[in-house]
Structure 1
Amino acid sequence: MENLTERGARLLGERLGVIGNGALIALLTLFFDWVLPRDIKTTYVIFDHLFRARRTDNSLVSSKSSWLTRLSMFSAWLGMCMAYLVWAPSRRLIMIYHGITGNGASLLIWSWLAMQNDGPRNEINKLQNVFLDTALAFLVSSYSLTHRPLLWGLTEWAFVRMGIPLLCIGASLYYFREKLSLARNYYQVRLSVWVFIYRGWDVFDYVEAQIVERLPRYLQHKWSSYQQGRPERARLSKYRYRPLDAGEIRLLILKRSPFYPSVIQAEIVHRPIYPPPYYEAVSYRWGSSELTEEILVDGCRFPVTTAAFSLLLARRSVWRERTLWIDALCINQEDLQEKSEQVQLMRDIYHRASRVIAYPAGDWRLRLAGSLIYQLWSLIYQYKTEKMDWSARSDEANQPRWRALADLFSNEYFNRAWIIQEIAVGQNTELYIGGTYIPWMVFAGVMNWCFQPKRKHLLIGTDNVGSIWRTGRTFEVCTRLPVPLGLFVSAILKLEVSTNMSLHTQNIAVMTSLRPEAESWIGSIGRFTHMIDLENLLYITFNFRSADPRDKVFGLIGIARNIGAAGDAILTPDYSLPIEQVFQNTARVIFSLRDRPTIHMLALAGIGYSERHRTMPSWVPNLCEERICYPYSNVYKTEGNFNASGELPQSLKIDDETNSLIVKAITIDQVLDLSEFGILDWGLEERDTIDLLKILPIVHSFVHAAIDLCEKHPGSPSAPIQMARERLWWALIAGRVTTEGPLRIPADEVFKEAFQHWLRHLDHLVGARSWSHYARLIEGIPGDDLSFIADGTETTYQFSVVDACWGRRLAITTSGRLCVVPPLTKVGDSVIIPFGSQTPFLIRKHHAHSEDAGYELVGEAWVDGVMHGEMMENVDEEFIRIS
């Protein structure tokens, strides 16, 4: 009972009340069944049916169902009432009728389905309960007309002859559970039986997913390929779009599907968006732009991509037509003017849709994830899961449903730039996977729960001890390693670049935080309303991807606020503009804003991350550049952030004549030398699996190259000897340690000693030839050296090193300061602190070597001893031109 949440306790009370209510009604009706005349009983049943029909209709009205649905449901109720009157007017069925419809047996029948009702419970869920248990009651009552002796015999056998003896035996065994070996064996057998049933259910889910999802898809694709090759298909004309009038959109009416594989047929209609018609807006990932499939639209051939074809297959129903809005089909992609006009309507299209369907696609295994999400939501809803020991079920991670959930969280759909707006503005957004609809906030809540530190091991993507699995830019470690083996290497091998979630799950969190109901989300960042400012939207979504890089701007304009009239005009979607021009226009609008800080956007700019030729100034954020490291600055919160410029406000302006950005800053230092190792990177592609022992030498080489750098430049006239070496432990973690959550806090002196232990362990273990050899080396380490591993200090330090240095390299300045810098930093680059900035930046003399050329921005850096405003007093400020 102590593990129940307040909601779970309330739900338990409701269920116990249901049982008591059902038992009481059953006893009363048992009495009245023998006393009341037949006419009174029949009249009661009629009014009971009508009362339930009225309650059903009220539920349909509140859920905004159509009149056709209301009429159909009322007809079903009326049919049940008439059938009772015709079939059983003179039977004593009141007891059975009320024993079930009084909700007593409803608990027993439907509680195992409560995972869908206990969490996101709405009027339709309640309606299903009311209707289904009454329909079942009618069937049971009807069956019992001629089989009452059989029904009573089964009841007597189940409860009297079997139930009571088993209850007595179970109670006795429970009482003597600590004294009798037989009782202990009984519990072991019971546990084995439970595990067997549990595993059997997993197998059933796996097979059922293949039959329901994989087989129909396979047959449909084969049939479609066959039909496309037929001569009569080739003689059909190709579909031609009709021009849209102002304020119009196209809607795709997807025709019903028969029970066998058939050609997908649809029609396209034009509708005004004001007032909005009834339609579903579908959010999905385009994938390849090659038109490999074909459907029939208005009797004409309509080529579509594989992704769009799979989407139409998933949305096609055998019961009714669906009215959809799908960007790839409802917008003429070859007409750039129409595309630009429709993109401006995109926010309204998704906001006014009756429902937004988020379709991540994926293979048939995702069907397993849908049911698991509802089970976990029900668990979170009812129990205090933080008190549960999840480490005891490490083998759970190997089950197909958990693998399916891990695949869902790493789906590339959540990395697509356009879905930010599509998810953020939808009033009723649901994730559709494997035939299951999941409210978006339920999905986000389960994701947040799964990625808590004590449960993340359930999403490990490999069965190989000592291996890691990469999803996007994140590494997860197999926690089933021997202790202290797993404790020692886990933090080195887990890369979580910004928060305690992977790249894709962080993207999910970003989109969720932009939704109106984000305030109620567990761990919500929705209270940060400034996140919907354009500069902050671009900053937190820079790692999203899009086939057309311009969409990383155009896809956010619809939800961004406070751009201003001039900005609205400049950033109007126009696909005829070059990519560089769109990025430059965006940067001009952002840096022209005077009412809020925008200088943090420079962290996404610079020439220090890619060797590709740039045709735009270095101060313009390159939003199509894929970086493996996140900026040091943070726009979500102010506490705990770096504050290199102190309290000084930003001062910058754009020089139109030279197309440069002029910032007020101070110059504090210059790069003297760089670590010979280069950047810290495992060198893996997405979803690569590698032996962890191959990563230890990489970390070892990176750290020792940093030590060599310190010994090469031990000090300076303004710094004591060995200052750099003594500060290395601090520089490797950028002065902060990463806690179990997304919080980064200043490190204390205990981590200095932890660094020395960690370094000795690396030297000791880097030569391990195998995991058995590694285990022997671990055992040879003195016990006191393992104390930092046991209490987690060393693990925290290792994790913080990877978090701070990933995708960057170490350098030292002329004054002996260690710094963490962009990969393409060069000796001689200057270190500046712009006013209003959280971090220092590196600049480089422009290659043009003219007086007006100014400097090129290299990128953001961490510099020891300047990150909290220490250099902002008694310094000479200057205006620096960045070209």
Structure 2
Amino acid sequence: MAVPEPSHTAYKYEPLAHREIRVVRLYPLTSDNQIHCEIERASIDEHPVYEALSYTWGNDTNNIPIQVGSGSVISVTENLFVALHALSPAESPRTIWIDALCINQDDLAEVSHEVSFMKDIYTRASRVFVWLGPAADNSDEVMDYIGTLDGEPDLLEHKKWVYADTSSWDWDACRPWQPLPVSSQSVDAFLCRSWFSRVWIQQEAAVNPNTVVLCGQKEVKWHQLSSLAWSYQKPSREGFAKDTLSNDGLASSLLVLNIQSYIYEDVPALLIDILRDTTFCGAKDPRDRIYAVQALAHDEDLEKLMLVPNYNESVVTVYTKLTERFLEVQGPFILCWAGRYHQDLRDLPSWVPDWTMVNNELPSINFKASGEAQAYHTVHNEDGLRILSARGVTVSSISALTDPTAIFVTYRDQMSERSIFESFRKHIDACMNLIQTQKGSSQLEDNKRALWRVLVGDNDRNWSRLPKDYGEDLDSFPAWLASFEEEQTPSKIPGAYMELIETMDIRGAFSRRRLAIDSKRHMCLVPRTTMMGDLIVIVAGLAIPLLARSSEKGRLEIIGECYVHDCMDGEAWSELASSTQDLLFC
């Protein structure tokens, strides 16, 4: 593949007008196999005819110059250079939008402006090309198989399976298990390509129904690729796919299916849900975790929530602004995702969620810890900090904790069934030991009965509150657990016990968390980083309690959300309603 000599001057971008874009006119390869193109301007609202490219920039340390016009060059990454070769037409020029060429990347104001209507750019393209890269790791074999998948996934059917209650399914009525004609290793390598990890693909691949996937010299339609992901999720008589993949490529593909259901099936999606669902996606710029997905949401008050992209603002400023808008428009529910336990960014207020952190633990909306109390909160500057003042009550403090090493690790993090089970046994032992420290036989029995609810955050696998009789068939569990023999296998675990373990894994309620008892002898489920003396507080209008740590000047730092038994339906709030105060979170 010929590479031009960088003998020309760098291409000079002219400023764009409001909602104006540039498009690339890509010509056939020159006689010496070099890329040649021109860049033109057009108003997006005048419906220019163009295609669009979705790709990953790749390594930018060895950029390659390409010829633009008669005497200018633009340096592009090797991955884009290869993509341009693959897309170069045989005869007539091709008009295509490519971010690296059509946006002046050195002008942050222009980048911000163009990103603000990126959804329109991809939606209005006549076709979107997804470039996955050159052929490798048996990708031709995978692409050939994908090309045989003609059935377009039913988007609502997909959501029905994903969120279904599997306990009542008639598995015999499901299709028989059909192994795929390509190895799971090849499919896994295919879905591990860097394109699948980008947060921007949720917009680029979802908004245009005419999307084509290119890999090497092979081509398939997007709905065929979606069918591949769907085939790994749809249940068979033997359960879900035996070789179910766990990489982020599969998750990204399925998430695009969800996004498409929001768009084409008129299924509303909330911005908070999309932000949460895309935390595993990659983004070189953390601000893109918001900018890339906010236009996909369907909140009734979305215009009041959305930020105008501004790459001159810091990540902390952008995340804080969005949180303040959530507080103003939708109330304190956003605080469920906040806290030092979920933070990695420095200088971020503890009440602002850090969207760079993977956090798949969904705070439940099935509780009413603050009863019917109306939210009241303000945000102000103090000592150079953004302080959230929220009406609330302090319930108690942490007085006992399980050992931090006794953390239940979920199925996804383990290498074998045996290690999964041993992790679970260690965790239950730690919980029972903590319960035994409580004086008084009545309190001891109450805590034993409460344990099973606490282990799953009082929610079942489908995020519904547990029935009142939940746990009656688990009373003998600790004794059975202690007698579990080394030669036994987890497959012999009684049904009720196995359901508990699976629910803990699926819910994520106990994943990387600790059991605690507070100063009022409530059993609690708290973040792993909880310390003795940390406070349990309830904010007016918030469904679940928060764990907070005292800071200087009477302020509090949020550590994370928590489950406090017998306090989740307004009991503690009713008792303390006369002693509400302004809680100051820094």
TM range (shorter): 0.7 to 0.9
- Structure 1 residue 609: Cα displacement: 3.2
- Structure 1 residue 540: Cα displacement: 4.3
Partner Cα distance (1:578, 1:379) in 2: 42
Alignment of 1:505-516 (within 5 A): 507-515=255-263
Partner of 1:354: 126
Partner of 2:352: 620
- Structure 2 residue identity aligned to 1:471: N
Residues 282/814 of structure 1: CA separation in 2 closer, same or farther (3 Å cut):
same
Partner of 1:671: 398
Partner of 2:15: 244
Taking structure 1 as the reference length, the TM-score comes to 0.56
The structure whose residues are more often helix, as a share, is: 1
**Deviation per residue, 1:458-514 (Å, 9 max, x gap):** 3626xxxxxxx75249xxxxxxxxxxxxxxxxxxxxxxxxxxxx7435533442243
Partner Cα distance (1:412, 1:679) in 2: 35
Task: State the number of aligned residues.
Answer: 559
Give the secondary structure class of the aligned counterpart of 1:729: helix
- Structure 1 residue identity aligned to 2:110: E
Partner of 2:561: 860
Do the aligned residues in 1 keep the contact of 2:394 with 2:535 (CA within 8 Å)?
yes
**Deviation per residue, 1:570-611 (Å, 9 max, x gap):** x32221222111112222222222xxx33221122111234x
- Higher deviation after alignment, 262-271 or 814-823: 262-271
Among 626, 630, 634, which residue is 2:361 paired with? Answer: 630
Partner of 2:161: none
Give the secondary structure class of the aligned counterpart of 2:584: strand
Partner Cα distance (1:763, 1:362) in 2: 55
**Deviation per residue, 1:686-741 (Å, 9 max, x gap):** 9x98344344333332222222222233569xx62343233222221222332xxx
Do the aligned residues in 1 keep the contact of 2:22 with 2:41 (CA within 8 Å)?
yes
Partner of 1:460: 243
Among 432, 435, 454, which residue is 1:731 paired with? Answer: 454
Partner of 2:369: 644
Residues 374/870 of structure 1: CA separation in 2 closer, same or farther (3 Å cut):
farther
Among 522, 534, 546, which residue is 1:841 paired with? Answer: 546
Partner Cα distance (1:277, 1:580) in 2: 37
The yes-or-no answer on 1:606 pairing with 2:352 is: no
Do the aligned residues in 2 keep the contact of 1:293 with 1:309 (CA within 8 Å)?
yes
**Deviation per residue, 1:527-579 (Å, 9 max, x gap):** xx3x34x55543444443311011122224444566688866xx322212221
- Structure 1 residue 330: Cα displacement: 1.7
The yes-or-no answer on 1:696 pairing with 2:421 is: yes
Do the aligned residues in 1 keep the contact of 2:517 with 2:523 (CA within 8 Å)?
yes
The yes-or-no answer on 1:283 pairing with 2:54 is: yes
Residues 400/861 of structure 1: CA separation in 2 closer, same or farther (3 Å cut):
same
Do the aligned residues in 1 keep the contact of 2:6 with 2:73 (CA within 8 Å)?
no
- Structure 2 residue identity aligned to 1:732: L
Partner of 1:798: 501
Do the aligned residues in 2 keep the contact of 1:631 with 1:860 (CA within 8 Å)?
no
Partner of 2:34: 263
Residues 708/843 of structure 1: CA separation in 2 closer, same or farther (3 Å cut):
same
Partner of 1:818: 523
- Structure 1 residue identity aligned to 2:423: I
Give the secondary structure class of the aligned counterpart of 2:111: helix
Partner of 1:712: 437
Among 553, 556, 581, which residue is 2:317 paired with? Answer: 581
Partner of 1:49: none
Do the aligned residues in 2 keep the contact of 1:714 with 1:816 (CA within 8 Å)?
no
The yes-or-no answer on 1:273 pairing with 2:9 is: no
Residues 613/346 of structure 1: CA separation in 2 closer, same or farther (3 Å cut):
closer
Partner of 1:421: 203
Residues 251/811 of structure 1: CA separation in 2 closer, same or farther (3 Å cut):
same
Which blocks of at least 5 consecutive residues in structure 1 are unaligned? Answer: 1-223, 462-468, 474-501, 520-525, 635-640, 768-773
Partner Cα distance (2:444, 2:376) in 1: 38
The answer to which structure, 1 or 2, has the higher relative contact order (CA under 8 A, 6+ apart) is 2
Partner of 1:333: 105
Partner of 1:661: 388
- Structure 1 residue 451: Cα displacement: 1.1
Partner of 1:19: none
Partner Cα distance (2:346, 2:60) in 1: 26
Do the aligned residues in 1 keep the contact of 2:188 with 2:247 (CA within 8 Å)?
no
Do the aligned residues in 2 keep the contact of 1:671 with 1:830 (CA within 8 Å)?
yes
- Structure 2 residue identity aligned to 1:418: W
Alignment of 1:523-538 (within 5 A): 526=267, 529=268, 531-532=269-270, 534-538=271-275
Do the aligned residues in 1 keep the contact of 2:367 with 2:544 (CA within 8 Å)?
yes
Residues 312/649 of structure 1: CA separation in 2 closer, same or farther (3 Å cut):
farther
Give the secondary structure class of the aligned counterpart of 2:25: strand
Which blocks of at least 5 consecutive residues in structure 2 are unaligned? Answer: 155-169
Partner Cα distance (2:476, 2:176) in 1: 30
Residues 700/881 of structure 1: CA separation in 2 closer, same or farther (3 Å cut):
same
- Structure 2 residue identity aligned to 1:343: V
**Deviation per residue, 1:837-857 (Å, 9 max, x gap):** 2221111111x2x24xx2111
Partner Cα distance (1:505, 1:645) in 2: 38
Taking structure 2 as the reference length, the TM-score comes to 0.82
Partner Cα distance (1:319, 1:361) in 2: 23
Do the aligned residues in 2 keep the contact of 1:700 with 1:763 (CA within 8 Å)?
no
Do the aligned residues in 1 keep the contact of 2:212 with 2:219 (CA within 8 Å)?
no
Give the secondary structure class of the aligned counterpart of 1:608: helix
The yes-or-no answer on 1:882 pairing with 2:585 is: yes
Partner Cα distance (2:406, 2:319) in 1: 28
Alignment of 1:361-400 (within 5 A): 361=133, 363-364=135-136, 365-373=138-146, 375-378=148-151, 393=178, 396=179, 399-400=181-182
Give the secondary structure class of the aligned counterpart of 2:501: helix
Do the aligned residues in 2 keep the contact of 1:618 with 1:882 (CA within 8 Å)?
yes
- Structure 1 residue 677: Cα displacement: 3.5
Partner of 1:831: 536
- How large is the Cα RMSD of the aligned pairs? 3.8
- Structure 2 residue identity aligned to 1:554: Y
Partner Cα distance (1:756, 1:505) in 2: 43
Partner of 1:297: 68
From the CA coordinates, give the structure whose radius of gyration is larger: 1
Partner Cα distance (1:805, 1:588) in 2: 29
| Identity %, equivalent residues | 23
Partner of 2:292: 555
Partner Cα distance (2:252, 2:356) in 1: 17
Partner Cα distance (1:715, 1:322) in 2: 80
